[in-house]
Amino acid sequence: MSSTADKGRPAARRRYDAQASRQALLEAATELFDARGYDATTTREIGERAGTDPALIARYFGGKEGLYLATVAEAAPPEPATDPYALVERVLRKSETRGLGPIARATVSATLTDAMREQVRDILAARTVRPLAATLQGAGDPELRAEVLVAMALGLSLARAGGTLPRLRDAELDEVLDVLAPAVGALCAERG
């Protein structure tokens, strides 16, 4: 007969496997949504890429939509964004090394449902817009200025990745950040 300690070990093992499967699904979905888009990606493909049963998507995320939103939430900054310069730099550097990612793609996706778009807005508001707006007190609308900062960072990422603006595409990232600094500063400045 097994002891209580023995009974605890398999449960812990299952929990670890569940966490590993969940993470594998998130990583596979992020890659596939980035490469093919939300609509063109199937849950079967995500499961195959993750090396798990696609049925686990429903179990861990409630379905494909929930998995997509989880990829967006995971891509958002873990800590609220309070430094405008750091936010812009982080977004641009991340897109240089990892590609556009779920947040940039979600902001321009025409295929999201209204409910999904609202949840993406909530994630952006909680992790970037509201914390930034709190640091941008002064004349003018702090929330609007925070949203413009986020849009600048995401828009520059999209433009560099798209390659249709050759000088922007070919410039070193530090050079782009130097050119951008006065604009970020102007959005942060208190106006009286």
- Same domain? 124 vs 145: yes
- Same domain? 84 vs 163: yes
Q: Phi, psi (5° rounding) for residue 109? A: -75, 130
Ranges of H-type helices in the chain: 4-36, 43-50, 55-61, 64-75, 84-98, 101-108, 114-124, 130-135, 142-162, 166-170, 173-188
- Same domain? 90 vs 33: no
Going from the first residue of the chain to its last (192 residues), give the mean pLDDT of each consecutive group of 10, the final group possibly shorter. Answer: 49 65 95 87 96 96 95 84 89 84 80 89 91 84 93 91 91 96 88 56
Question: Structural domain of residue 133, as residue ranges?
Answer: 76-188
- Same domain? 153 vs 81: yes
User: What is the model's pTM?
Assistant: 0.76
Measured from the Cβ of residue 96, the count of other Cβ atoms closer than 10 Å reads 13
Show which of 47, 71, 95 is a domain's final residue: 71
- Alpha-carbon 151 to chain mean position: 14
Q: What is the pLDDT of residue 111?
A: 82
Q: What is the pLDDT of residue 13?
A: 46
Split into its structural domains, the chain has a count of 2
Burial of 109 by CB count in 10 Å (0-12 exposed, 13-18 middle, 19+ buried)?
Answer: middle
- Same domain? 176 vs 92: yes
Q: What is the pLDDT of residue 17?
A: 86
Q: What is the pLDDT of residue 170?
A: 94
